Amino acid sequence: MAYVNPHTKEIHCKVVYYGPSLGGKTTNLQWVYQQTSAMNRSELYSLPTDTERTLFFDFLPLNIGDIRGFKTRFHLYTVPGQVIYNATRKLIIKGLDGAIFVADSQAERMEENEDSLRNFEKNLSIQGCDISEIPLVIQYNKRDLPNALSISELRTRLNRFNVPDFEGTASEGRGVFDALKSVSKAIITVLKGGEI
């Protein structure tokens, strides 16, 4: 749920990167951080777990535009991919405004992708949200690997909500900003339709 700060004339929006363990969520967020001017971003924070990290930072995009005189600031978060950290996942998605589901394109990871997407849908439902009603995009990551499934198969198995989807190779920055711009624009559209 977006937070409006009338003193700074900013609207704060929360975007969460969700997906299976080692699918590329952290790599996406790190790429965005590295490509964002230091003047327009906060520090990159990390909450380590035994095998993964939850990363977050916020930034003020330059080209999205104002909403009734307010600038939009996005806070980006990753969730831990492993199931044992489900309580942390639930906490991180609380109050989200949009999400990027980062799927691992490798054939042997398809079951984990499907499990993670079902887990995301369930965790949203517990919080009273319907996955089909939030700004959501899917990034099919690791497209550079030889065992990557076809986009048509990935779409058939993962994109049952018919949301925007993008091919990506987060380690090279491919598809990273496409997915982020898409979900950001969808969030802005929702905000413009509501009261500020």
* Residue 8 pLDDT: 83
* Residue 11 pLDDT: 86
Q: Which residues contact 126 (CB under 8 A, 6 or more apart)?
A: 90
* Residue 38 pLDDT: 80
Cα 141 to Cα 179: distance, rounded to the nearest angstrom: 11
Contact 100, 183 (CB under 8 A): yes
Contact 52, 21 (CB under 8 A): yes
All structural domains of the chain: 3-193 (3.40.50.300)
The pTM is what? 0.89
Q: Report residues of the chain scoring pLDDT below 50.
A: 62, 195-196
Going by their DSSP bridges, the two strands 71-78 and 98-104 should be labelled as unpaired
Phi and psi dihedrals of 103, rounded to 5? -95, 140
* Residue 196 pLDDT: 45
